[in-house]
Amino acid sequence: MYEYHVEGGFPIKGTIRASGNKNAALPCIAAALLTDEPVVIRNLPDIEDTQVMLEILAALGGTVEKLGTNEYRLRAETVSRRDIPLELSKKIRASILFAGPLLARCGQAILPPPGGDVIGRRRLDTHFLALTELGARVDIDGQFTFTANKLIGRDIFLDEASVTATENAVMAAVLAEGTTVLTNAASEPHVVDLCEMLNSMGARVSGIGSNILTIEGVSKLGGTDFRLGPDFMEIGSFIGLAAVTHGSLTITDVRPKDMRPIRLAFGKLGIRWDIDGTTLSVSAQQDLKVNSDLGGMIPKIDDAPWPGFPPDLTSIMTVVATQVEGTVLIHEKMFESRMFFVDKLIGMGARITLCDPHRAVVSGPSTLHGSELVSPDVRAGMAMVIAALCARGESVIKNVYQIERGYENLTQRLVSLGAHIHRVSAC
């Protein structure tokens, strides 16, 4: 077990490269099960979650070969088992993503309930509804058993725009007989990456980037060599860190179109950046002042399915808002427990009123003071790192395993930017 020791008050400065998209990496690893040919994935982030997914692939009979930094060759020439090991499934919610590929490849998938972040109820119903529409049977008895003699393409309206349910349905449908139409599909950049990788393997997915996906089933998929796009959640986190520490930061390998909804939200807090090609630059000179809505009304930053503001950045924005002059409402509509971490920020000196499990009113700027913190999930954990780095004094952050599930080489990269943070053994 490790913890972070942080001394706040030092502006970050320098250049970093954006890591590969964590939420694209996880389904793309699972998709390697859909073919018996080699699948090379490049720009794969070196984080705990990707390592667990690679372990699951290996446990199912696949081979995993590291080619170089952030590059892996995967091959599932044979699939020796249909069940996800319990000890791996409980580590990561994305283990559910093996359901679609296992069904399509083997006709059966057995999964223990998935683990992952504790951020409120995260329903799996949409996965079950989509896969049963394609012809699967689902039995629930302490674990989930999916079976199908044959998957048949259907016209499916998803009951919510779930990212992972969309990904599972697409991965099952690419080898189904006939055509599948998914309406109310998720369209996040990581869903786009998965669909584009599947097409590079010989799938026929159209409507990519929209909420209506059409999948013409094929009999077989081949191998591919695919590069993941950048992680816009990580990019948004580093933008927030630069702003609240009054630092200047350059981030390379950015995909500008992914940043559009994020730019709007940061703009409400008086934070701007420039993009030249794939390079994003954050200046140390920021307004850091809330831009009121018309009539002087308090603005709202609220999350929504893409192309709305991504929910994984609401925790980051809450911390950033504590350092901005004015009042803003943070409305986390998608997960009912994600805002409960604000009690730690209040303990550090933030002026936050938690209205209910979904809404917090933040008034700033507030002087934060170092504290002892515990990371509850990936994004709230990173929010605590940002808070600690802009606070006065020293902070200790425990349970950093949760943070490192989603941020690659975090302490090394922060130190390279001038942050005073150390990863030490908690024993």
In this predicted model, what pLDDT tens digit does every residue of 146-163 receive, in sequence order? 999 999 999 999 999 999
Residues 265 and 338: their CA atoms lie apart, in Å, by 18
Residues 13 and 315: their CA atoms lie apart, in Å, by 23
Tens digits of residue pLDDT in 268-303: 999 999 999 999 999 999 999 999 999 999 999 999
Q: Which residues contact 98 (CB under 8 A, 6 or more apart)?
A: 30, 33, 56, 60, 84, 109, 111
Same domain, 146 and 291: no
Q: Which residue has the tokens 């982030």?
A: 45
CB 9 within 8 A of CB 387: no
**Residue 401, SS3?**
helix
Torsion of CA 340, 185, 266, 279, to 10 degrees: 130
Same domain, 201 and 240: no
Same domain, 41 and 182: yes
Same domain, 221 and 239: no
Residue 11 has pLDDT above 70, yes or no: yes
Q: Can you give the C-alpha Rg of the chain in angstroms? A: 22
401: CATH: 3.65.10.10
Same domain, 200 and 271: no
- What is the extent of the structural domain holding 305? 2-19+230-425
Same domain, 209 and 258: no
Residue 119 has pLDDT above 60, yes or no: no
Residue 122 has pLDDT above 70, yes or no: no
Q: For the beta carbon of residue 365, count every other beta carbon within 10 angstroms.
A: 17
CA angle 139, 144, 147 (to 5 degrees): 60
Query: Which among 161, 195, 227 is the end of a domain?
Result: 227
Tens digits of residue pLDDT in 224-275: 999 999 999 999 999 999 999 999 999 999 999 999 999 999 999 999 999 9
Tens digits of residue pLDDT in 104-118: 999 999 998 876 444
What's the confidence (pLDDT) of residue 118?
A: 42
Residue 328 has pLDDT above 60, yes or no: yes
CB 282 within 8 A of CB 309: no
The tokens describing 306, both together, are 């893409």
Q: Around 117, how many Cα atoms within 13 Å sit in the side-chain half-sphere?
A: 26
Helices then strands, each counted (H, E), the chain:
14, 23
Residues 30 and 27: their CA atoms lie apart, in Å, by 5
The tokens describing 377, both together, are 């999930």
Query: Which among 227, 261, 292 is the end of a domain?
Result: 227
Ordered alpha helix ranges (H), 174-326: 189-200, 232-244, 260-267, 314-321
Same domain, 12 and 159: no
Ordered alpha helix ranges (H), 42-122: 48-59, 86-89, 99-106
Q: For the beta carbon of residue 85, count every other beta carbon within 10 angstroms.
A: 15
User: What letter represents residue 80's amino acid?
Assistant: S
* Catalytic machinery residues: 117
Same domain, 266 and 167: no
For the chain, the average pLDDT equals 94
Same domain, 184 and 162: yes
| Stretch 125-146: mean pLDDT | 91
CB 177 within 8 A of CB 185: no
143 confidence band (pLDDT: 50, 70, 90): confident
Same domain, 265 and 217: no
Same domain, 123 and 263: no
Same domain, 11 and 59: no
Residue 337 has pLDDT above 90, yes or no: no
Percent of the chain at pLDDT exceeding 70: 98
Residue 121 has pLDDT above 60, yes or no: no
| Stretch 365-382: mean pLDDT | 94
Query: Which among 201, 227, 253 is the end of a domain?
Result: 227
What's the confidence (pLDDT) of residue 91?
A: 85
Residue 201 has pLDDT above 60, yes or no: yes
Exposed e or buried b per residue across 143-182, where buried means at least 16 C-beta atoms within 10 angstroms of its C-beta: ebbbbbeebebbebebeebbbbbbbbbbbbbbbbeeebbb
What's the confidence (pLDDT) of residue 117?
A: 44
When divided into structural domains, the chain yields a total of 2
C-alpha distances in Å from residue 278, one per residue of 95, 96, 230, 281: 32, 33, 10, 10
